[in-house]
Amino acid sequence: MIEFLLHNEKITLTDIDPNTTVLKYLREQRRKMGTKEGCASGDCGACTVVLAQLAPSAAHSSENATLEYKSVNACITFISALHHKQLICVDDLKQTSLHSCQQAMVDKDGSQCGFCTPGFVMSLFALQKNNTSYDRHKTQQALAGNLCRCTGYQAIDNAAQQSFSQKVPDHFDRQQQQTITQLKAMNASRKSQSISATRLLNDGNPIATCHLPQSVDELCALLIEYPKSQLIAGGTDLSIGITQHGSSYQSLIDLKQIAALSQYTISENHIEIGAMVTLAQCQQLLMPYFADFSLLLERFASLQVRNQGTLAGNIANASPIGDSPPALIALDARLLLRKGESSREVKLDQFFTDYKKTRLSESEFIEKIIIPLPAQRSVSAHSAQAFFKVHKVSKRQDDDISAICAAYALDIDSDNKISHIRLAYGGMAAIAKRALATERALLGKAFNEQTFSEAKLMLTDDFQPMSDHRASSEYRLLLAQNLLQKLYIEISADLQQTKQLDSEQANKAHTRIFDYV
């Protein structure tokens, strides 16, 4: 059984195929035709809907409760993702008059053929709910997953501006307390439910079941009992098997109800990220520590995908062109794997064994990702500065798969020598992997152009990339070499800027002393 709100109507489902997507449910079972099917793969945004849920602090508190609004692609969202949430689609926006987001699209000529319009409106709706004023960058990020082939994006951006300038409380605001009360009641009732009945979705056929465990221990038990189950974290890749290949999964386990997996901690030495922390959350979490990693995630698919997809899911997918593994390998990240009552740590650079294969054993899953902070590295006392850089090359700037993703972590000591170096690449082999020969050519060497010019030639020893529709083998290898040269140029500029700032601060300090004397 799953429970959720469809706008303000409470829905209880006990007999639905868990392979059903939210889009299919809306259009075929609820006859809500405003939400469109375009690509059925999460690329065009025509199917965008919004999920509202209790903010983590509100789930167990009776005071100052708030809702979080997230845009998602209905076409690649499993029906189980709706459990204990509110589903809002474009059909729900208008009451006696158009919603301010809809009216802005009309006033600013934001729609021509109209097929993509419902998706744009829902992305604008989520943007409006999560912000108090117009911001161009946030608007571009919110709309980057919505494609328009005829209207033109300037008109839609103008509509975004108007939606904020003419923003007024809507019926969702007026009904917010009622929504919060209903969602809290659902959260409270689930505590007394038994796992054998109430956390099972079943269409009557035992070959299609979906469990919704509430704790890590319950998840462990389920995986021991059903070792062949497919885990749903965000489900943004798993669902493609249904929409594009006609697959049907016999046994599913949705992890969204396990609060412990949605937590992260930051200590002096490392960051621990639970398996259900989304890519959108990671984007914010990592910015103060690894800005380039955060910016990489900003280019990871669309906001609708990042609102659901998880860092752990991107790792477990084991794609050789996944964006996060190169960055995590360069940072010497570790995975905490769990099976039953046993746990073990595996370094990420040893986790991938072959194309789409990992060291996960049967019934084992990723519980946490552990990322060391620079201060934890075994760096000599002479080290002066630590750098972390990421280069992603794709045919489009946003919402596209990498031809190459390269990540670099290195330290330069006070003698201008490279005292620590880790280079990791995606798209260059059957797995994301380190460039060990190139690392050896750089470690302990002077940080200068000649060192990098010589070291980049060693990439031919590390990789023999394949050719595919994204890039040829020759292009990938030349690109990787050029990116390594780019790394030297970028860090040189950073060092020069640091020296300039240090000089300016020294001059200011000298001036203050002189004035005091």
Confidence bin at 188 (pLDDT 50/70/90)? confident
Please tell me the predicted confidence (pLDDT) of residue 358: 98
3-state secondary structure of 382: coil
- Are 254 and 81 a contacting pair, CB within 8 Å? yes
For the segment 388-408, the average pLDDT, to the nearest whole number, is 94
Please tell me the predicted confidence (pLDDT) of residue 517: 38
Confidence check: pLDDT of 306 > 70: yes
Confidence bin at 514 (pLDDT 50/70/90)? very low
Which helix (H) or strand (E) segment is 140 a member of? helix 136-143
Please tell me the predicted confidence (pLDDT) of residue 61: 56
For the segment 183-198, the average pLDDT, to the nearest whole number, is 59
Please tell me the predicted confidence (pLDDT) of residue 505: 65
For 333-366, the pLDDT digits (tens) are 999 999 999 999 999 999 999 999 999 999 999 9
Please tell me the predicted confidence (pLDDT) of residue 192: 30
Confidence check: pLDDT of 506 > 70: no
Q: How far is CA 37 from CA 20, 45, 80, 101, 151, in A?
A: 14, 9, 19, 21, 19
Return the closest-CA partner of residue 84 out of 194, 169, 191, 157: 191
Confidence bin at 516 (pLDDT 50/70/90)? very low
For the segment 19-47, the average pLDDT, to the nearest whole number, is 96
Q: How far is CA 63 from CA 55, 57, 60, 180, in A?
A: 12, 10, 9, 11
Q: What is the rounded end-to-end Cα distance, in angstroms, of the chain?
A: 78
Confidence check: pLDDT of 381 > 50: no
For 77-126, the pLDDT digits (tens) are 999 999 999 999 999 998 889 999 999 999 999 999 999 999 999 999 99
Please tell me the predicted confidence (pLDDT) of residue 65: 87
Phi, psi of 283 (to 5 degrees): -55, -40
Confidence check: pLDDT of 131 > 80: yes
Please tell me the predicted confidence (pLDDT) of residue 397: 87
Mean pLDDT of the chain: 91
For the segment 498-517, the average pLDDT, to the nearest whole number, is 59
For the segment 249-257, the average pLDDT, to the nearest whole number, is 93
Confidence check: pLDDT of 270 > 90: yes
Confidence bin at 206 (pLDDT 50/70/90)? low
For the segment 203-213, the average pLDDT, to the nearest whole number, is 72
For 451, the token pair is 């060192």
Please tell me the predicted confidence (pLDDT) of residue 475: 97
- Are 304 and 145 a contacting pair, CB within 8 Å? yes
